[in-house]
C-alpha cells in the first residue's frame, strides 16, 4: 500500500482494517511488477482500488472515463463497481494495456469496458457523451488539459477523481520544485479556483482529489 502521508504505525493500523485485494488483483500487481519493473510504481494501491470500487457503487454512473489505464488495476476496480454503465479507458500503450485486457477478461468485466489507444487529449476531445464519473491518472503535465475537457463533459453532480495530487506531500513544500510537483501544484490551484466545482482533497495514498461539478 502507498502511505506516504501517514505515520507508519497509523498506516499499519489502517491497512489492517482495510479489506485486502482479492487473488486476481494480487496476481495483477505481481505480474505488473515482473513485467514493467520501475513503472509498476504507477499502479494504484489496493486501498485506492477499494475506494474506486466504492465510489463507483455510490455514484452508480452510466458513463465513466479513465485517463491512464496502464495494466488495468484501477479499471478492474471501477468496472467491478458498475451496475449497468460503461467504462471508457484511454491510454497510449498497447503493451501495458494488453495486460489490462487479459485481467478484464479474467475478472469478467471486459463487456463493460471500451479501450481507446492514443493521446488522451485527442481521445477526450472527440468524446461526446455526458460523463458521470472520471478517474484521472495519466501524465501530470496534461492534467489541466484533461481537466478542462472532463469538466465540460461532466454532468452536474458528476465527479472527477484525480490521483497523485499531493506528490508525497511535496506540493506543500516550496523547496520541492521538480517539474511534476510544480505541474501538480498548478493543477491543484486551477481546480480550487474554479467556481464550477466543489473540491475535496483526500490524503489517501499519494493524494486523491474529488472534484464535483456543481
Ligand atoms: C499512472 S499510470 C496509470 C495507472 C493505472 N491507473 C493503474 O491503476 O494501474 C499512467 C498511464 O498513463 C498513460 N499515459 C501517459 N501519457 C499519456 C497520454 N498522453 N495519453 C494517454 N495515456 C497516457 C501511460 O501509458 C500509463 O499507462
Using the atom order of ligand 1, give the atom closest to the CA of residue 71: 9
CB-based contact 22:50 (threshold 8 Å): no
**pLDDT at residue 118 in the model:** 98
Tens digit of each residue's pLDDT (9 = 90 or more) over 29-83: 999 999 999 999 999 999 999 999 999 999 999 999 999 999 999 999 999 999 9
Mind listing the domains of the chain with CATH numbers? 8-160+179-213 (3.40.50.150)
In sequence order, the 6+-apart residues with CB closer than 8 A to the CB of 202 are 208, 209, 210
> Degrees (nearest 5) of the Cα angle 157, 161, 34?
150
- Of all residues in the chain, what percent carry a pLDDT higher than 70? 100
Tens digit of each residue's pLDDT (9 = 90 or more) over 145-182: 999 999 999 999 999 999 999 999 999 999 999 999 99
**pLDDT at residue 82 in the model:** 98
Residue with cell 464550477: 196
**pLDDT at residue 3 in the model:** 84
Using the atom order of ligand 1, give the atom closest to the CA of residue 48: 8
C-alpha cell at 61: 454512473
Residue of 179, 98, 190 lying closest to 136 (CA atoms):
190
Helical pair 73-81 and 94-107, crossing angle rounded to 10 deg:
40
Q: Is the pLDDT of residue 2 over 90?
A: no
CB-based contact 104:91 (threshold 8 Å): no
List ligand 1's pocket residues with C-beta within 6 A: 42-44, 68-71, 73-74, 90-93, 96, 119-120, 137-139, 142
Amino acid at each position: 500500500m502507498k502511505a506516504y502521508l501517514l505515520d507508519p504505525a497509523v498506516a499499519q493500523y489502517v491497512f489492517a482494517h482495510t479489506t485486502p485485494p482479492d487473488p486476481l488483483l494480487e496476481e495483477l500487481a505481481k505480474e505488473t511488477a515482473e513485467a514493467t519493473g520501475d513503472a509498476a510504481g504507477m499502479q494504484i494501491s489496493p486501498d485506492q482500488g477499494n475506494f474506486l470500487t466504492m465510489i463507483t457503487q455510490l455514484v452508480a454512473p452510466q458513463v465513466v472515463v479513465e485517463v491512464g489505464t496502464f495494466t488495468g488495476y484501477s479499471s478492474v476496480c471501477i468496472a467491478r463497481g458498475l451496475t449497468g454503465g460503461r467504462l471508457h479507458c484511454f491510454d497510449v500503450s498497447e503493451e501495458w494495456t494488453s495486460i489490462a485486457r487479459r485481467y478484464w477478461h479474467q475478472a469478467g468485466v471486459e463487456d463493460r469496458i471500451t479501450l481507446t489507444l492514443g493521446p488522451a487529449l485527442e481521445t477526450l476531445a472527440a468524446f461526446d457523451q455526458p460523463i458521470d464519473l472520471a478517474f484521472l491518472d495519466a501524465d501530470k503535465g496534461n492534467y489541466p488539459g484533461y481537466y478542462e475537457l472532463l469538466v465540460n463533459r461532466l454532468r452536474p453532480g458528476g465527479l472527477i477523481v484525480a490521483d497523485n495530487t499531493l506528490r508525497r506531500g511535496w506540493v506543500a513544500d516550496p523547496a520541492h520544485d521538480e517539474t511534476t510537483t510544480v505541474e501538480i501544484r498548478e493543477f491543484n490551484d486551477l481546480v480550487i479556483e474554479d467556481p464550477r466545482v466543489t473540491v475535496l482533497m483526500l490524503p489517501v495514498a499519494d493524494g486523491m482529489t474529488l472534484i464535483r461539478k456543481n
